[in-house]
Amino acid sequence: MESECPTETKKGKSKTPKKAKESILKQKSPAEFFAENKNIAGFDNPGKCLYTTVRELVENALDSAEAISELPVIEITIEEIVKSKFNSMIGLVDRERVDEELYDDYETAKAREKRLAKEARAQEIQAKNAALGKKVKEHAVSKSSKGRGEASFYRDNGRGMPHDDIPNMFGRVLSGTKYGLKQTRGKFGLGAKMALIWSKMSTGLPIEISSSMRGQNYLSFCRLDIDIHRNIPHIHLHEKRDNKDKWRGAEIQVVIEGNWTTYRSKILHYMRQMAVITPYAQFLFKFVSDAPDKNVTIKFARRTDVMPPVPVETKHHPSSVDILLIKRLIAETSKQNLMQFLQHEFVNIGKPLAERLIGEMGPEFSPKTAVKSLTDQQIVRIHQLFRQAKFDDPSGDCLSPAGEYNLRLGIIKELHPDMVATYSGSAQVFEGHPFIVEAGVSVGGKDVKQGLNIFRFANRIPLLFEQGGDVVTRTALKRISWNNYKINQTQDKIGVFVSIVSTKIPFKGTGKEYIGDDISEIASAVKSAIQQCCIQLKSKIVKKMQAREQQERKRNLSKYIPDATNAVYDVLKEMAKSHASKKKRYEEGDADILRKVSDHLITKETLYEKLTQHVEKVDYEMALEYATQTGVREEPREDIYLESLDDKGNFFDFHSPIFVFRLFL
């Protein structure tokens, strides 16, 4: 019995069911991931969040208008919302403070006295500087400004959005219309969605969208926020409304926590650079505050109606694909066999090359091989061959650069430089992706600091942050010998503009803020483009220097005309006396001049007039030669206003790097 007890005990224990261990694996939705890592998308702090929201919405508006070849008209309004107004918006009653010391902005009497003394000293210094004509710095932002909200409103005349797609376009992260292989301003499907996520995190208020497309007789209105944990839109209201004005485009309003004071200069700088790279767009920017002196209204007028072509979606180059992409293309293709798949899913693979590639793959491959039946090993073999084989470079026909004409117009419109040169390079390739580099270099201008002022653009987006590591900055600072082009790198006001467009911009990080300096193809193209601009400028600068030297010579000659006149006349009088007394004989021509001096037909006044005419003639001939060589007049030019034509008849545009000639039929 004793020996059986343990056995019975074990059996008894075995009958007790064991609890299954709970899984420690957890999942996050894309929306939840980016909410927790919002800095990846440029939402680092309230000020940066406001800047990124403006940037993303403006770029979405430009894409929308350009997609239907409509000249963009974009309005951006940022309204400052104080705490009391925000509380009334969400139905929260203001509450008086009970424990003052609990709050972050509380200061003791001693601290307040110290702060007021410091402010008084600062005001005294500012008053002295103002009296001396020195630049007066703005007051530092007080701590009480923390935590204000900003209402961001924007309106465009783009194509609008389909009624049923609006909730997913704004309320589902990593869904969008920009996926595919083509040049686009955005790549991550985050822009407006991150603004919505930040709105939900900082203010809890939904986003409001109004939209109408061409041919629709109604207006789509949607008020929604996002279910961050499930990555789906949470719709408050979605309805169709009357569109009596036949308006087309989109309006978006979002309320977020922001800081206009700290990022004011960045936002305005961004708008100015956007006006440079898109002179065919019209921007109206407003900042509205309860304090009228803080209000800002800036209009960036359209300078041209010539738009770049719409970027075209292209196929993948064989050298740019990986194994996963090949598998995805196989899954999505409608082609049945390997021959058709290679010809139709990749660029630069014609029938002869496809046959050679299939022959090189091995005996288990044939042109009739069913592409859907390829094994993992066979796909790896295809990938290896793609990496090792030689293919023609992809063309740049799918790209849409700003164009020299637009770049030049934008620079002139916003900076008013003394001289400018532009250059557009031919399409080049890195890692199977085509890219085009355009550059402009200007000298002089308004609101331009001495030294290098670098303006960077990628797929026609201004890049304002992390400038130090960018390929454009490093090239301009370290690889260009400015003195060789008669440009003083420290004293002259130099504007360097570089725009890179590609189907794949090699940004460092998902913030899309700078392009690395480690891609030799891009670094070389950037250097070459800037140098081409400098060569053009050197020619202009040298001619301008020559003209200046000519003016200096004229001034020097004119300065010595009186002394030269007196000296020459005195010599002639002495010679005339010698000739008259027959002490010395001169040839007939010289003797005739001396007789005229004796008869007072040639006087000091006559000599002065003749010398002055000679100096003027020499200066005129040299100036005429200079003007003929340069083809432009350097003196101030008068504005010419051309009346616009209401007739929308047919016309042809003849493009040149510096102008577009439009011929109406």
H or E segment and range at residue 339: helix 338-345
Tokens of 443: 């000298």
Q: Is 91 annotated as a binding residue?
A: no
Q: Is 577 annotated as a binding residue?
A: no
Confidence of residue 186 (pLDDT cuts 50, 70, 90): low
- Is it the case that residue 334 has pLDDT exceeding 80? yes
Q: Let me know: does 369 contact 337? Beta carbons within 8 Å.
A: yes
Confidence of residue 330 (pLDDT cuts 50, 70, 90): very high
Which tens digit of pLDDT belongs to each residue from 242-274?
988 888 888 999 999 888 989 999 999 999 999
Q: Where are the alpha helices (DSSP H) in 68-139?
A: 83-89, 109-131
Tokens of 581: 């007394």
Confidence of residue 12 (pLDDT cuts 50, 70, 90): very low
DSSP letter, residue 507: B
pLDDT at 143: 42
C-alpha torsion 398→399→405→411, nearest 10:
170
Mean pLDDT value of segment 539-550? 80
Helix/strand/coil percent split, the chain, to 5: 45, 20, 40
Q: Is 409 annotated as a binding residue?
A: no
Confidence of residue 598 (pLDDT cuts 50, 70, 90): confident
pLDDT at 10: 46
Q: Let me know: does 511 contact 41? Beta carbons within 8 Å.
A: yes
| Domain pair 30-88+146-300 / 408-542, same fold | no
pLDDT at 300: 92
Task: Please tell me the total number of residues recorded for the chain in this structure.
Answer: 665
Q: Between 591 and 175, whose confidence is greater?
A: 591
When the candidates are 3.40.1390.10, 3.30.565.10, 3.40.309.10, 3.40.50.1980, the CATH number that belongs to 30-88+146-300 is 3.30.565.10
Burial code of 49-72, b = ≥16 C-beta within 10 A, e = fewer? bbbbbbbbbbbbbbbbbbeeebeb
pTM, two decimal places: 0.76
Q: Between 330 and 130, whose confidence is greater?
A: 330
- Is it the case that residue 7 has pLDDT exceeding 50? no
pLDDT at 627: 57
**At 108, phi and psi to the nearest 5?**
-70, 165
Q: Between 148 and 160, whose confidence is greater?
A: 160
The string of DSSP codes covering 270-319 is HHHHHHHH-TT-EEEEEEE-SSGGG-EEEEE-------PPPP---PBPGG
Tokens of 500: 């890179």
- Name every residue whose Cβ is closer than 8 Å to that of residue 3 and which is 6 or more positions away in sequence: none
Q: Is 390 annotated as a binding residue?
A: no
* 252 vs 236: CA distance, rounded Å: 15
- Is it the case that residue 238 has pLDDT exceeding 80? yes
Amino acid at 665: L
Q: Is 146 annotated as a binding residue?
A: no
Q: Is 60 annotated as a binding residue?
A: yes
The fold of the 408-542 domain, in CATH, is Ribosomal Protein S5; domain 2 (3.30.230)
Q: Average per-residue pLDDT in the chain?
A: 82
Which tens digit of pLDDT belongs to each residue from 604-618?
888 888 888 887 777
Q: Is 190 annotated as a binding residue?
A: yes
Q: Is 192 annotated as a binding residue?
A: yes
Q: Is 156 annotated as a binding residue?
A: yes
* 432 vs 503: CA distance, rounded Å: 10
Q: Between 19 and 291, whose confidence is greater?
A: 291
26 three-state secondary structure: coil
Q: Is 177 annotated as a binding residue?
A: yes
pLDDT at 86: 81
* 381 vs 376: CA distance, rounded Å: 9
When the candidates are 1.10.260.40, 1.10.8.50, 3.40.50.300, 3.90.700.10, the CATH number that belongs to 323-388 is 1.10.8.50
Which tens digit of pLDDT belongs to each residue from 386-417?
999 998 888 888 898 998 989 998 999 888 99
427: nearest Cα among 496, 495, 529: 529
Q: Between 536 and 574, whose confidence is greater?
A: 536
60: nearest Cα among 190, 164, 202, 163: 190
Which tens digit of pLDDT belongs to each residue from 188-202?
557 678 888 888 888
Tokens of 574: 């002495």
Burial code of 372-384, b = ≥16 C-beta within 10 A, e = fewer? eebeeebeebbbe
Which tens digit of pLDDT belongs to each residue from 442-477?
999 888 899 999 999 999 989 998 888 899 999 999
* 556 vs 165: CA distance, rounded Å: 76
* Beta strand pairing call for 419-424 and 428-430: unpaired
Cα 367 to Cα 357, 360, 362, 364, 378, distances in angstroms: 10, 12, 12, 10, 14
* Domain regions of the chain by residue span: 30-88+146-300, 323-388, 408-542
Q: Let me know: does 530 contact 461? Beta carbons within 8 Å.
A: no
pLDDT at 619: 66
Q: Is 186 annotated as a binding residue?
A: yes
Which tens digit of pLDDT belongs to each residue from 351-374?
999 999 999 998 999 999 999 999
81 three-state secondary structure: strand
Tokens of 165: 């797609």
Confidence of residue 439 (pLDDT cuts 50, 70, 90): very high
96 three-state secondary structure: coil
157 class by beta-carbon count within 10 Å (0-12 exposed, 13-18 middle, 19+ buried): buried
* 269 vs 209: CA distance, rounded Å: 27
Q: Let me know: does 419 contact 443? Beta carbons within 8 Å.
A: yes
199: nearest Cα among 244, 238, 157, 252: 252
441 three-state secondary structure: strand
Q: Please give the radius of gyration of the chain, using alpha carbons only, rounded to the nearest integer.
A: 36
pLDDT at 413: 87
